[in-house]
Amino acid sequence: METQALVMAVEPGAALVEPMEPSGCSACGTTGGCGVNRIGQIFTLKSKRYRVLDPVGSRVGEAVVVRVEDGAVLRGSAAVYMLPLLLVFVGALLAAHYAPLASRDVWSIAGAAGGFVLGALWLALFSQRAARDARFQPVILRRVSEGLFVLKEIKS
């Protein structure tokens, strides 16, 4: 997924960018769109700024093209939402299965809480690992002006 962004600040190897387009998926430009961007604008007052890897050495004020690897959003979402939720359910089911019949509900709640704690610990480890993994990091591909050329008519 690629989107254009404006460089707001730079640091060695990274930049702080603000997207120029309302959504990276470009669905808002199509008929109907998903409307997520409109809902997000209602609840946020600040503009969104993101830290991205900067191998091209961009400068403040430049328009750049930022890319997130295909599948990174899906993998990240599954890791952040699905696995912790699955651990809560598995913890509750396992605790209910092995608990005495009289106190099954209490054990289910305890198992769900245990699954939640395991999910939170796993999520903390995943977040640290993903912060260092280039597959999950947005990166500046090029300046917007790069790759463009202008044809001029030469009059004789």
Can you say how many angstroms the Cα of residue 103 is from the centroid of all Cα atoms in its chain? 41
Determine the pLDDT at residue 109: 94
Res. 62: pLDDT tops 80: yes
CA–CA gap between residue 135 and residue 156 (Å, rounded): 53
Determine the pLDDT at residue 150: 47
The per-residue pLDDT for range 90-125, each reduced to its tens digit, is: 999 999 998 888 888 999 999 999 999 999 999 999
Which pTM was predicted?
0.57
Higher pLDDT, 39 or 49: 49
pLDDT > 90: percent of the chain = 19
| Averaged pLDDT, 21-27 | 53
Contact present, 7 and 15 (Cβ < 8 Å): yes
Q: What residue spans in the chain does CATH classification 2.40.50.140 cover?
A: 1-68+138-156
Determine the pLDDT at residue 40: 54
CA–CA gap between residue 107 and residue 103 (Å, rounded): 6
Higher pLDDT, 67 or 110: 110
CA–CA gap between residue 48 and residue 43 (Å, rounded): 12
Domain 1-68+138-156 has CATH 2.40.50.140: yes
CA–CA gap between residue 24 and residue 21 (Å, rounded): 7
Higher pLDDT, 10 or 116: 116
pLDDT > 70: percent of the chain = 76
Out of 68-72, 99-103, 112-116, 142-146, the most confident range is 112-116
